[in-house]
Structure 1
Amino acid sequence: MTAPVIHVAAALTVDADGRALMVRKHDTTVFMQPGGKIEPGESPLDCLRRELFEELGLELAAEDFTWLGTFEEDAANEPGHRVLAEVFTLTIDAAAPVVAAEIAESIWVDPAAPGDIDLAPLSSRALLPLLV
């Protein structure tokens, strides 16, 4: 049986020092790239812009994003599911994000040495290694 797939848009977000922005949702321990589920009829970029505004207070233009690619990994918070992520890169000021909605915490990490935090498979296996 094939694992159900969750289609999301995610931002591989860095600051001027090359650190990556990671977020953790309420009632979870796993840190991941900001983003969220793509709604019916919504483009991945529109989804990402909406999610970043709702979750981090970031109001960004489409031109601020660069398409990176599509990645598939085990889902972090939905056991037995896979996540299919449409990923864009983005550079922002480290002071810009303000957590809201379902986000409990945001942190900036060194992609080469993120420290002792629980990372989503998409982050640890696919995205952070691209920054090293």
Structure 2
Amino acid sequence: MIDKLALIEIKDGRILSTRSRGKDTYYLPGGKREAGESDIEALIREIAEELTVTIIPESIRFYGEFSAQAHDHPVGIMVNMRCYTASFHGILQASAEIEEVVWLSYNDKPRVSEVDKIIFEDLKEKGLLK
């Protein structure tokens, strides 16, 4: 099981997503925790590394937990994604291994990882994603 954390940021019915260098699939921003990190610590670190913004810790809210086959891994390797919403300071821009930052709609679902597809469905059902 791959343990990951992700930020859910919605604007005008679209969700913030990223694409790593050399990849063709989009992922919600976030990543794996380092040894000893809490969800909050890992989320703050990953978002700062990927998007150059600073999450406001007191604004962080748990959104949900989702699991699916891990993208680009052998069958049976699963990813468990703990998702949070949060406010942040700064201007979103690609950094580190991120090549592109985009705002995706529900119609972009075929372009995202398997776990993100489940999250897209959840957001659509709740009327948050266009």
> What TM-score range do you get, normalising by the shorter chain?
0.7 to 0.9
Deviation at 1:41, TM superposition (A): 0.6
Contact kept, 8 Å, 2:33 with 2:39, in 1: the verdict is yes
Report Cα offsets for 1:63-121 as digits up to 9, x if no partner: 2221012211111233332111111123669x9310010111111012x3227x62101
Structure-2 separation of matches of 1:127 and 1:92? 21
Which residues of 2 match residues 1-132 of structure 1 at below 5 A? 5-15=1-11, 17-80=12-75, 81-90=77-86, 96-110=91-105, 112-114=106-108, 118-124=111-117, 126-132=118-124
Structure-2 separation of matches of 1:129 and 1:91? 23
Work out the number of aligned pairs and report it: 123
Amino acid at match of 2:120: L
Q: State the TM-score, normalizing by the size of structure 2.
A: 0.84
Unpaired segments ≥5 residues, structure 2? 125-130
Unpaired segments ≥5 residues, structure 1? none
Q: Percent identity at matched positions?
A: 28
Contact kept, 8 Å, 2:9 with 2:15, in 1: the verdict is yes
